[in-house]
């Protein structure tokens, strides 16, 4: 992740995105705010997610009534 961020290939959450990620984490009853933020960003931008935690991220998206396309590394 650090390499992606250093190369400009990633973004950090702004105030609105961070709040939406927190709302999504609460709605999904998860304490994993990073996965909630990944799901929120992917939902908002219609991104493909690459993750070894596909089930967890999909469950978070489902809590928002959405489905994400997730690939495994």
pLDDT for the residue numbered 42: 92
What gap in Å lies between CA 46 and CA 6, rounded to an integer?
A: 23
Measured between alpha carbons, how far is 69 from 14 in angstroms, rounded to an integer?
23
The predicted pLDDT at position 29 comes to 93
Q: What's this model's pTM, rounded to 2 decimal places?
A: 0.73
> Is-contact 35 43, C-beta < 8 A?
no
pLDDT digit string, tens, across residues 7-51: 555 555 565 655 778 889 899 999 998 899 899 999 989 999 999
Residue 10: the pLDDT is: 54
Residues 6+ apart with CB under 8 A from 12: 5
Which pLDDT value is given to residue 51? 92
Residue 69: in which H helix or E strand, if any? none
């Amino acid at each position: 992740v650090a390499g992606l961020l250093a190369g400009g290939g990633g973004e950090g959450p702004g105030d609105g995105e961070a709040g939406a990620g927190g709302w999504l984490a609460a709605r999904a009853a998860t304490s994993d705010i990073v996965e909630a933020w990944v799901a929120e960003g992917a939902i908002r931008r219609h991104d493909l997610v690459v993750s070894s935690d596909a089930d967890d991220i999909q469950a978070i998206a489902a809590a928002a009534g959405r489905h994400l396309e997730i690939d495994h590394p």
